[in-house]
Amino acid sequence: AALLPALRRLPRLDPPTKARRRVRMSLKEQITDDMKAAMRSGEKERLGVIRMITSAIKQREIDERITLDDAQVLSVLEKMIKQRKESLVQFQAGNRQDLVDKEAAEITLLQGYMPSQLSDADIDALIADAIAATGAASIKDMGKVMAIIKAKAQGRADLGKVGAKIKARLSG
């Protein structure tokens, strides 16, 4: 009974809210939340694509016995987009417009989870900075330059095109 007045004088602490507990939602959590929203709204096509994403993420986690972070989830998404683009070309060659439309819709949904793409000017600036940082002078130094750019442009640029630009800059 003597403690009760002392406890009343202590400042009241509110229980943590979701907003305070979760500073930033991870990409996996966002995909899971989107899956729940698609289930609730009855969007079957969207739900199917999101389930494919979660399946690919879980498959990689099981294969490598790790929990994927956002960068690794982005690499899974990049791979899925690349596969869809290759399929799109094949379906266009085979005059299968129904499958072309389906693949294009999947690519659009997958790209919604990717960070905004870098412009050509931004990529050129990254290349110039990386060449200056490494002191690259010839095509032999391309690996050093690519290592720096890959860390900065992961998921935000097509690294194949970036590699071609680096090659052109170092050889010419």
| Cα–Cα distance measured from residue 112 to residue 40, given in angstroms and rounded to the nearest whole number | 20
- DSSP at 12: P
148: nearest Cα among 161, 164, 129, 122: 129
Q: List per-residue pLDDT tens for the chain, 172 residues long.
A: 555 555 555 444 444 444 444 457 899 999 999 999 999 999 999 999 999 999 999 999 999 999 999 889 999 999 999 999 999 999 999 999 999 999 999 999 999 999 888 899 999 999 999 999 998 888 898 999 999 998 888 878 888 889 999 999 888 7
